[in-house]
Amino acid sequence: MTKDFEFLLHMQRLMFEAEALAKQYDVEDRFISIMFAGLIDPLHGNISKLNAMYSYNIQDVDELMEIQDFIFHTYNVDEKDELDNRDLGNLLDGTGIELE
């Protein structure tokens, strides 16, 4: 078994653990997550191979779109500290998710 394969198996276990933790704390009906992890292996030239896994814990495509917007917005922020609660509230508006 290669180190890369061991790494990916470990990441998969961590994803399963996150879902189990939500069940353990009885919050699985409110648990929202999109997890993606992988390794890129260059093959030749500009061609690469991606070995990856993913896990979605979302209710519908609307939640998916809100999370996608959130990711795009936060990825482009030069300083993560610039994203304040007002920005987060605007991004989460309509999802039923509230900041405490």
Using 50, 70 and 90 to split pLDDT, how confident is the model at 81?
A: low
Q: Where are the domains of the chain?
A: 1-57, 59-100
DSSP type of residue 31: -
**Which tens digits make up the pLDDT trace of 91-100?**
666 666 665 5
Using 50, 70 and 90 to split pLDDT, how confident is the model at 1?
A: confident
The model carries a pTM of 0.64
Single-letter amino acid, residue 47: I
First CA to last CA distance, the chain: 45
Are 91 and 66 within 8 A, CB to CB? yes
Question: In sequence order, what are the beta bridge partners of 54?
Answer: 36
**Which tens digits make up the pLDDT trace of 24-72?**
999 999 999 999 999 999 888 888 999 999 999 999 999 999 999 998 8
* pLDDT the model gives residue 90: 65
